[in-house]
Structure 1
């Protein structure tokens, strides 16, 4: 007979994911151990293995949970009826707010994603491509004459915008909602002013 799922299974899983993300970000994935994750979670090592059979499985679930939620938040943002500049302002602000509280998950992407099996990497990179495509559409709409026949310039612009957003946590990880909104507006204005000059 299969073991029944505990009522608090999902809450424990979320706790494990957040704690493991912090351990991996602070210690480095290669140096971190499941014993350390269990200790920081306040549970036994056996309990961790009840949820995840390996450190790699835990890493994938951290990144899959984080990137899927981020992708859905960006793709499901209602932009219909907005002007192109308002769309950009909305998607930049939404992304920056979605990053709030996710610094550890964000940090371990760079180290962790290449360590996963190709099939799992493909899933995660698919989420990233979806987000890049959404940003590309919005940015291109703000300067159609600039990007219509130059996809490389569009990609470089989109990745530059992501660069500004992605490194925000490194120098302002304690930012509140107002600070994030202010920085989102700065990124939007820089982008709109910049594409006009391309």
Structure 2
């Protein structure tokens, strides 16, 4: 009879992925060793190999896991009966909030996907394209004229340009967090600079709550 997984196996595996993503994001995939991953996890190197075959397996799971979660978000929002504009706004806000919890994984996906073998890279990129297509289809529904002019995909990529590189400048403890910036991104994209509403101050928030 096959042995079942020990209690806490999935939690331990998730922790290893998180620590590896942090190291890859800070140092880059090529410059990070399995010894460093093990040290960051507080585990022995043989213990890491109990969960992952090698460093490449960590990279693949970080990239594929992150893009799979993003793809699932698109599918989840698409299944809701939202008008196109509300659907796009919801997609933007859900993605920005997801990035808040996966900054390191997103950076690894953005910068280190090129180190994947061709077949694995293709699978990850296909999921990325499906994510972009979900946004692009919604943009085309909002602006059929843009779709007819062949620029709905370009508009979508401009939107991803705002969201995907947020990790390079949105710092923890700053005036805005991911929750606060999400509607700003949506306002800016949906209506241009004049549609952006400034976030409420703490005093204004308290007045609204009363």
Question: Within the alignment, does 1:82 sit opposite 2:65 as a pair?
Answer: no
Alpha-carbon spacing, 1:147–1:106, altered in 2? closer, same or farther (3 Å): same
Give the drift of 1:41.
0.2
Alpha-carbon spacing, 1:156–1:78, altered in 2? closer, same or farther (3 Å): closer
Give the drift of 1:76.
1.0
Q: What is the match of residue 192 of structure 1?
A: 190
1:11-63 CA distance string (max 9 Å, x none) = 11000000000011111111100000000000000011111121111110111
Question: Within the alignment, does 1:168 sit opposite 2:146 as a pair?
Answer: no
Q: Contact between 2:77 and 2:87, CA under 8 Å: does it hold in 1?
A: no
In structure 1, C-alpha distance between the alignment counterparts of 2:114 and 2:173, rounded to whole Å: 29
Structure showing greater relative contact order (alpha-carbon pairs closer than 8 Å, 6 or more residues apart): 1
Matched residues, number? 191
Partner secondary structure for residue 169 of structure 2: helix
Q: TM-score, normalised by structure 2?
A: 0.83
Q: What is the match of residue 206 of structure 2?
A: none
In structure 1, C-alpha distance between the alignment counterparts of 2:127 and 2:173, rounded to whole Å: 26
Q: What is the match of residue 115 of structure 2?
A: 115
1:116-138 CA distance string (max 9 Å, x none) = 11111111112111110110011
Partner secondary structure for residue 100 of structure 2: coil
Q: Contact between 1:25 and 1:105, CA under 8 Å: does it hold in 2?
A: yes
Partner secondary structure for residue 100 of structure 1: helix
27-36 vs 61-70, which moves further: 61-70
Q: What is the match of residue 68 of structure 1?
A: 68
Q: What is the match of residue 6 of structure 1?
A: 6
Give the drift of 1:99.
0.9
Give the drift of 1:181.
4.2
In structure 2, C-alpha distance between the alignment counterparts of 1:57 and 1:77, rounded to whole Å: 30
Give the drift of 1:86.
1.4
Alpha-carbon spacing, 1:4–1:182, altered in 2? closer, same or farther (3 Å): closer
Question: Within the alignment, does 1:59 sit opposite 2:59 as a pair?
Answer: yes
Q: TM-score, normalised by structure 1?
A: 0.88
Unmatched 5+ stretches in structure 1: none
Match 2:154 to one of 156, 177, 184? 156
Alpha-carbon spacing, 1:190–1:42, altered in 2? closer, same or farther (3 Å): same
